[in-house]
Structure 1
């Protein structure tokens, strides 16, 4: 009996120890579980319920009262939006791929959420400096808010930043080397268009060179372009060797011979056509691969693209005059002695054309710009400036 009682006592002690150990282990596990859940709750609260901003009403924050803090935050938002729809600076670090993607964006809502005044983007594709800049300065003077300027300057040429008072000050965009007649020329044109499209107020886009001059005053040219129902780009079906003869059969079926067109490199486009140009990923690769001299992309790519995707958007003519009467690969270059009043009037009013399908009535102003003008023409052009930029 004593042995049995002793064994029972040992069993009770062992059972009690096991029980308390089990209970302790359960408590520890439960504590860890609760602690883990508590941490998760705190994390979620931090995510969905961020702490309130500090109370700036304290006298220790005299330079940052609640009202001034709220105003500053609000203005920052407004400035951020303004800079988004109308960037102040044209220099950036975007690659061409990033730039074209950004510029191809177009709002689906037609009504603008800000007061928008249509602007004309003047896009200069230049080798180096702008020798005729003083004439352009005279042209732009007094019309701020109605135009934007973009300069594409080949990196191999020295470019000296103009003074801060100039309309060309800090208007140079990130640029790359350009070869005449090659795909790099189209790359530069698309680069200019893409940068100009970043400003939502730019409605018309004119491609110019350093040898171009304006033939009328700013108000006349602005009104002519902004009120135009068409873009100004030639879409000619030229059956000659220098036209259809440059077509490469390897472009088929993306580009058929019946689609092939020719036109002046110096175009003017409205915003809708400009968006088509920078967002093209179908026809540009075909041209880049199969159009090399004697096929010149700057004469065929944009005319063919416009003919395929939106022929109804163009007037099938350029607004930039040049003299091709001597033939050859380049138009005539004019020097100082060529610039006379009779010569300029002949350029400005020497042809007839249609404008906005006005019932067949012809217009005697077909060209708004002229090329190619040598730097020696600057002084005579400045003398004729009052006539050129007077009341048109």
Structure 2
């Protein structure tokens, strides 16, 4: 998906959350769209289209990671000026790489009250793209959410950005390790080992080896 108009976005600023909402609004114009996945050019699918489509269309939940982080990178970003509309107990953090159904996408795009509060009080150090959607869903639509993301990322580097996978990392075994990484999660109230449909963060030089593996791993 592409932004309907060219506007500058900055990492950590509310402009990223603005862009997410504009993407959703643009995609909602096509009434045949039922599920909405936020991905970037550094993301790849780890299953073929048929598997991804069946998984998402068949899900009774949305996939938005949200959790209560008591530390400085979670509750420490909360502003008491958001009270009484958004309390500290409401505050949630999560990956911005969401997956939503049409109903919830409309709710997020239509929200003006709580998004206005975020725009006013969630300054760049607050990182609105990590907090607005998780907090909003937690407050009003928690039962509709699986509380997890379907996009795999490696945070083992313990930095502000996740690990980047380059050409040397791309092997059949590596891709399979993302599919089968000993993680268990819930899907439609049942345990499953298929938790991630996409992965990030891949460098440009990973494209060629990924394409070479596509026939054996993806079936095309």
TM-score, normalised on structure 2?
Answer: 0.97
Number of residue-to-residue matches in the alignment: 219
Q: 2:98 aligns with which of 267, 271, 294?
A: 267
Q: Using the alignment, how far apart are the partners of 2:73 and 2:5 within structure 1?
A: 33
The residue that corresponds to 1:151 in the other structure is 2
Q: Which has the higher mean CA deviation after the structures are superposed, 305-314 or 216-225?
A: 305-314
**Is residue 384 of structure 1 aligned with residue 213 of structure 2?**
yes
**Is residue 355 of structure 1 aligned with residue 190 of structure 2?**
no
**Is residue 217 of structure 1 aligned with residue 48 of structure 2?**
yes
How big is each residue's C-alpha offset from its partner over 1:298-352, in whole Å with a ceiling of 9 and x where there is no partner?
Answer: 1100000111121111100000111011112110111000111111111111111
Backbone CA RMSD of aligned residues: 1.1
The residue that corresponds to 2:81 in the other structure is 250
Alignment of 1:56-75 (within 5 A): none
Q: Structure 1: which 5+ residue stretches go unaligned? A: 1-149, 153-172
Alignment of 1:334-345 (within 5 A): 334-345=165-176
Q: Using the alignment, how far apart are the partners of 2:125 and 2:14 within structure 1?
A: 13
The residue that corresponds to 1:107 in the other structure is none
Pick 1 or 2: higher relative contact order, CA cutoff 8 A, min separation 6: 2
Alignment of 1:1-392 (within 5 A): 150-152=1-3, 173-350=4-181, 351-358=183-190, 362-390=191-219
Q: Structure 2: which 5+ residue stretches go unaligned? A: none
The 8 Å contact of residues 349 and 366 in structure 1, kept in 2 or not, is answered as no
The 8 Å contact of residues 66 and 147 in structure 2, kept in 1 or not, is answered as yes
Runs of 4+ in 1 over 4 A off after TM superposition: none
Q: Which one has the largest radius of gyration?
A: 1
Name the SS of the counterpart of 1:384 in structure 2.
helix
| C-alpha deviation, 1:383, in angstroms | 1.1
The 8 Å contact of residues 211 and 374 in structure 1, kept in 2 or not, is answered as yes
The 8 Å contact of residues 175 and 188 in structure 1, kept in 2 or not, is answered as no
The 8 Å contact of residues 231 and 270 in structure 1, kept in 2 or not, is answered as yes
The 8 Å contact of residues 66 and 148 in structure 2, kept in 1 or not, is answered as yes
